[in-house]
């Protein structure tokens, strides 16, 4: 499965290379590309977001086959909820509905980060302690460095810094994704059969060497999976799904969220099939599985299946005047606040990830950013979303954002591959702009 993910990221990197040129950790942005949201059969200019949806969403448009959109304000009022288009691109694809389910992939990370910060609030762990007290697998980790003079093309050295929970949550620990790192792939080729199979041990999935000294770089990876394992161990071996069910899903009546698609027929029955954009720009049925339906352990970084009405409940709580999941102080100073110091070598690495991990995120590619314990944080207004917005997404082009100052949150959900698909990005960006416009209008009334 991960070989397919590697190929998708290779294609994504190739398609975005023309949009920016890298020199070390610096990124020089080229002029923004024109929007790809031009319906093939359109006979007149688009006039507003609703017209964009009408003309650009559907299996025959080859823009986006279908999506579910939702927005909520700080009172919990879901003022926008709509399903548009079709559930997949098959000739007999049915219309998509708001109750349909999705593999939400890395949107799982927000839930796991919330669970981890709940442990901090309980005093069970400190954000900056040596996490090997709970995760001994991360004690004295090895760091892998490319070396063309060595036998296998890399060398390993013991890390000098300790790994912390703050680093795991902000992707500054050095834990990477094998399918995004040629260096880790090379290492796995030499150490033996890959353990990267998420139906087995999550810990073994992320047993590769670190990509850099903890705290001294930024790399999207399995740090939040390790945070999920930490939650399990701090709760007497309770599975991450059992913990989430008790502390998130049941309190918010989220009946269609699970790590086990094989055990939830109602979720499986409403699953939206994934579509893949081929080299000609056309959408075809994804030829393989997007994720494993049967698992024995829970991937806190990407293992959940859910619906938009379920997910929006968590987003609503994070902007509520009286949140239930976390204390307001935890949300405003940790979850949704910049955690990477301005003088840290990790920050330029984060900024340099524009064409990779950040390509599928809700922020504009030229937006000034930092990273919080719950996702990417805008440090200044962008053309899409305002300063202080916390956002992230999921591999099949799902995105969410929350902004407490403006009292609004939203989610865009689809099942389109590859990640960072330009047409999907354009559509979700237009939706988020529309949400901010509608929210401003409602507040003026």
Extract the tokens encoding 23.
């020199």
CA distance linking residue 230 with residue 225, whole number of Å: 9
Question: Which candidate in 101, 106, 382, 391 is catalytic?
Answer: 106
Token reading at 325:
């999941």
CA angle 85, 36, 44 (to 5 degrees): 75
- Residue with token string 């502390």: 247
> Burial, 227: exposed, middle or buried (Cβ in 10 Å; 0-12, 13-18, 19+)?
buried
Catalytic, 106? Answer yes
Closest C-alpha among 441, 421, 395 to residue 36: 421
| DSSP single-letter state for residue 245 | I
**Residue 346 tokens, joined:** 């990790």
The closest alpha carbon to 72, from 286, 274, 313, belongs to 313
Q: Which residues pair with 67 in a beta bridge?
A: 84
Which residues neighbour 281 within 8 Å (Cβ) at sequence distance 6 or greater? 62
Strands (E), 319-442: 369-372, 375-378, 390-394, 398-403, 408-413, 416-417
- According to DSSP, the β-strands at 416-417 and 275-277 are parallel
Do 298 and 282 form a contact (C-beta atoms < 8 A)?
no
CA atoms in the 13 A half-sphere facing the CB of 111: 35
Catalytic residues: 106
């Amino acid at each position: 499965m991960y070989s397919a993910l590697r190929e998708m990221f290779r294609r994504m990197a190739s398609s975005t290379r023309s949009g920016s040129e890298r020199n070390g950790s610096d990124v020089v942005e080229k002029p923004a590309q024109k929007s790809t949201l031009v319906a093939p059969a359109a006979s007149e200019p688009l006039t507003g977001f609703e017209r964009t949806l009408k003309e650009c969403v559907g299996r025959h448009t080859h823009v986006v086959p279908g999506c579910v959109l939702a927005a909520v304000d700080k009172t919990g009022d879901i003022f926008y909820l709509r399903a548009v288009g079709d559930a997949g691109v098959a000739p007999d694809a049915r219309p998509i509905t708001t109750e349909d389910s999705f593999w939400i992939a890395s949107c799982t990370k927000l839930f796991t980060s919330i669970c981890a910060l709940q442990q901090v609030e309980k005093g069970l762990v400190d954000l900056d302690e040596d996490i090997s007290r709970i995760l001994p697998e991360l004690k004295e980790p090895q760091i892998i460095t490319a070396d063309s003079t060595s036998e296998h093309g890399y060398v390993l050295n013991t890390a000098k810094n300790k790994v912390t929970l703050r680093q795991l949550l902000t992707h500054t620990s050095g834990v990477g994704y094998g399918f995004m790192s040629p260096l880790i792939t090379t290492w796995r080729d030499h150490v033996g059969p890959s353990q990267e199979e998420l139906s087995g041990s999550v810990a073994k999935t992320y047993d590769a060497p670190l990509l850099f000294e903890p705290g001294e770089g930024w790399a999207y990876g399995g740090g939040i999976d390790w945070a999920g394992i930490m939650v399990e161990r701090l709760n007497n071996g309770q599975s991450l799904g059992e913990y989430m069910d008790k502390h998130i899903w049941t309190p918010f009546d989220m009946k269609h969220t699970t790590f086990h698609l094989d055990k939830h027929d109602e979720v499986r029955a409403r699953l939206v099939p994934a579509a893949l954009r081929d080299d000609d720009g056309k959408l075809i049925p994804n030829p393989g599985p997007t994720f494993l339906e049967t698992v024995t352990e829970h991937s806190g970084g990407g293992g959940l299946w859910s619906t938009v009405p379920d997910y929006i409940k968590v987003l609503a709580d994070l902007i509520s005047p009286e949140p239930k999941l976390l204390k307001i102080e935890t949300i405003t100073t940790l979850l949704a606040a910049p955690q990477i110091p301005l003088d840290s070598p990790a920050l330029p690495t984060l900024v340099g990830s524009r064409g990779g991990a950040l390509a599928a995120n809700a922020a504009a590619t030229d937006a000034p950013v930092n990273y919080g314990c719950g996702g990417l944080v805008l440090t200044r207004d962008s053309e899409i979303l305002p300063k202080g917005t916390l956002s992230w997404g999921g591999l099949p082009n799902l995105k969410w954002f929350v902004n407490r100052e403006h009292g609004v949150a939203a989610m865009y959900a689809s099942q389109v591959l590859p990640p960072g698909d330009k047409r999907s990005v354009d559509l979700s960006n237009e939706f988020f702009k529309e949400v901010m416009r509608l929210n401003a209008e409602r507040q003026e009334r």
